[in-house]
Chains A and B, each alone.
Chain A
Amino acid sequence: MNNQIQPGDSRQRILARIAASLGRDPAIAAASAAYAVLPRHYRATAATPPAQSISRFLDRLHEYNAACVRVASEAGIAAAIAAVLAARSQSGLAVVSGIPPAWLPPGFNFPLANPLTAEELDRQPGILTACAVAIAETGSLVLQSGPRQGLRLHTLVPDHHLCIVFESQLVATVPEAFPRLDPNLPTTFISGPSATADIEMTRIKGVHGPRSLHVLLVAD
């Protein structure tokens, strides 16, 4: 083999090697037919009663050291946010675009996150978003870039993330979450605050992402 490979060569070379190794021509079809019949005998959906999903979700968040407050209706969101901020002695937090003004309690600052640079976000005390779907089995919040859910850096740079989850957004298992997602949008699964176990396998809450995660679980 030559030490110097010409640009463009490698693509043809690799594809040819794969085809040769698999013992056929590079042009292939039939992948989709074979894909369709792959065995998938795991739970795609689970007939889980909502109450059970909710209690599992709360358990998981508790294990992750993420705080969760239950809210009786959408009308109660503002008061719940006010309570969280008051408890943290926080003067406010950044909000992503699309958050309904009715969610925001008076007496706090809620600057819009979208125009802020990363450095400016770094100086914000926290961020408020909603989510696309939440998963009870794993205690996960799934966010997709767009209105109410912001951009990926919004839920990353500030040290505190407050996330609104409606009970209708909660699914029991991981496979149930996927049909509710748009595969084309930037997507982040968040399961508890950022963490590491790199030091003697001790799980430590908070490395580079937000060190505090609050969830408001809203009945709807």
Chain B
Amino acid sequence: MKPEANSSPWNRRDFPEAAREALAAEPLPTAPFEHSQTRRNVRHATDIIQAKRNAVVAELPEWQALRSAGAAIRAHTLEHLDHYLLEFEANCVRRGGHVHWAADAADARRLVLEILAPHAPREVIKIKTMTSEEIGLNACLEEHGIHPVETDLAELIIQLGHDRPSHFVVPALHKSRGQIRDLFASAMHRPELTDSPEELAAAARSYLRQKFLTTPVAISGANFLLADTGGVCIVESEGNGRMCLTLPDVLVTVVGIEKVLPCFQDLEVFLQTLPRSATGERMNPYNSIWSGTPAGDGPREFHVILLDNGRSPILADAESRQTLRCIRCAACLNACPVYHQTGGHAYESVYAGPIGAILTPQLHAMHDAQSLPYASSLCGACYEVCPVEINIPEVLIHLRSQVVQQQQSTLTGSLGLWNIAMKSAAFLMQDGGRLGAAVRLAQTAQAPLVSRNGFIEWMPGPLSGWTKTRDLPALPAESFRAWWRRTRSAQPATPAASEPHHE
């Protein structure tokens, strides 16, 4: 599949470059301490969610069983995805809903506009939805004269600040209360506001209440689709979601095709694992589940747009298919030491953090975001917390191998420094004698780089990345194998395989 022309506000730079900027302190007169403030805010928020998550996970003795069940249900669903989507469609339609299928982002945007056209809304209210961000819906609506009003507190902060979400559960976690206060004070014309979180939330409540009561069209995403009932489940905290789902006449839900579950009852697993993983709560304040247009309760017109946009090809890869099990809890972001440092923006992607590092390049058929699979130290913290057991490090390595193969298929890539270095190292590492000789050579060759203190404090080329902030011990004069040969030569050396078996 050809990647779509850039339709989102995410202009994608390589991760190392974007991260370098995120980690840099900007010159004081331009934007004093903004990066430092952002990094402090990210750290503060992720520390708190992590601690809460760990506490409520520890109190469930069957946590690992819930993870395994969740993984099995999601894996099973993906193996039978077409079956469950068709079942969902039939049941949703039977209950009065309309189901649309969007092959890509442009398709989804066109469908939304077509659905909205007869109602000619000037404004729509929106629940936080990453699929909307993924298809660049807000910009598209604005272009067509429809103003989208974000109703989730964090998304409102993002929208009023012309900012980008940096986390898909707590999109504005990079903002401090002081920054939010300034934003609200100016956008809502409330100069008297203080930075008390209660007061800021109350300001959002009064700012949005009239919108909820009068706006006839709402747009949402969804946490889960339920095949057996044609149901949709949305998990939230503030009640803005419930407002959008029940008060307007028309509701449009844009949801990735992978979000389906076989049965209503499967929620018994995910309503335990999702809240604990996402916000560290035993249960989030509100979960809404409905199907179609139930008589007299909620919107009279309900549309579901099933969004593919690069998902279906991911199913073909047995190794990385597990990426689509994701239930968007963001626990992997909160656990990730890379995310802790850079925050979400450095990923230059709707989906940040470890899951973003594997999902984003795959959604673009590996034609884009090739630096993201390398945006990890493979520490494994993400896998440890994942409530559906996505082995993110394993998928990262798998995707790295695809990036390497892409590079090796081009002349510049195959002649690149990395490729030559890795090929040469692989040659040396197939033979103990060769490796020993290479080490002896290096012991001599390193001399110009070694300082008088016995450390290497400067190295050239790609190796300079190390010595910018770190020293490296010089190779000692005698390697272990040389020491062994010198001191233990009386003992029989054991050549590979040819040596008789020792008891």
A–B in direct contact per CB < 8 Å: yes
Cross-chain contact B45 with A200 (CB below 8 angstroms): yes
CA distance A46 to B462 in the complex (A): 58
Chain B interface, >50% SS class: helix
Could you say which residues of chain A place their CB within 8 Å of the CB of B436?
none
Interface set of A (CB-CB < 8 Å, partner B)? 1, 3, 5, 9-11, 13-15, 17-23, 26, 28, 30-31, 34-35, 38-44, 60, 64, 118-119, 122, 135, 137-140, 145, 151-153, 156-157, 174-175, 177-178, 181, 183-202, 204, 206-210
Q: Is B247 an interface residue (CB 8 A)?
A: yes
B1, B212, B291: the one contacting A208 at CB < 8 Å is: B212
Besides A20-B316, A201-B44, 19 other A-B contacts (C-beta < 8 A): A10-B103, A10-B107, A13-B101, A14-B101, A18-B82, A31-B76, A40-B269, A64-B285, A122-B209, A139-B283, A140-B283, A151-B298, A178-B265, A183-B231, A184-B95, A189-B271, A199-B197, A208-B212, A209-B285
Cross-chain contact A189 with B283 (CB below 8 angstroms): yes
Q: Is B41 an interface residue (CB 8 A)?
A: yes
Given contacts A1-B2, A17-B312, contact A41 B279 (CB under 8 A): no
Could you say which residues of chain A place their CB within 8 Å of the CB of B231?
183
B73, B104, B176, B242: the one contacting A209 at CB < 8 Å is: B242
| Chain B residue at smallest Cβ distance from A26 | B82
CA distance A206 to B173 in the complex (A): 19
Q: How many CB-defined contacts (below 8 Å) exist between A and B?
A: 249
Cross-chain contact B72 with A21 (CB below 8 angstroms): no
CA distance A189 to B283 in the complex (A): 9
Q: Is B393 an interface residue (CB 8 A)?
A: no
Cross-chain contact B83 with A196 (CB below 8 angstroms): no
Could you say which residues of chain B place their CB within 8 Å of the CB of A15?
82, 85-86
CA distance A30 to B80 in the complex (A): 9
Q: How far is the CB of A147 from chain B (nearest CB, A)?
A: 13
| Chain B residue at smallest Cβ distance from A188 | B288
Cross-chain contact A200 with B176 (CB below 8 angstroms): yes
Could you say which residues of chain A place their CB within 8 Å of the CB of B298?
151-153, 186
Cross-chain contact B201 with A196 (CB below 8 angstroms): yes
Q: How far is the CB of A22 from chain B (nearest CB, A)?
A: 6
In the A-B complex, the 8 residue pairs with the closest CB atoms: A209-B239, A208-B239, A138-B283, A21-B316, A21-B315, A183-B264, A207-B238, A194-B239
Chain A interface, >50% SS class: loop
Most buried by B among A14, A151, A152, A157: A14
CA distance A151 to B243 in the complex (A): 12
CA distance A43 to B62 in the complex (A): 7
Q: Is B417 an interface residue (CB 8 A)?
A: no
Cross-chain contact B170 with A198 (CB below 8 angstroms): yes
Could you say which residues of chain A place their CB within 8 Å of the CB of B103?
5, 9-10, 13-14
Cross-chain contact A190 with B197 (CB below 8 angstroms): no
Q: Is B81 an interface residue (CB 8 A)?
A: yes
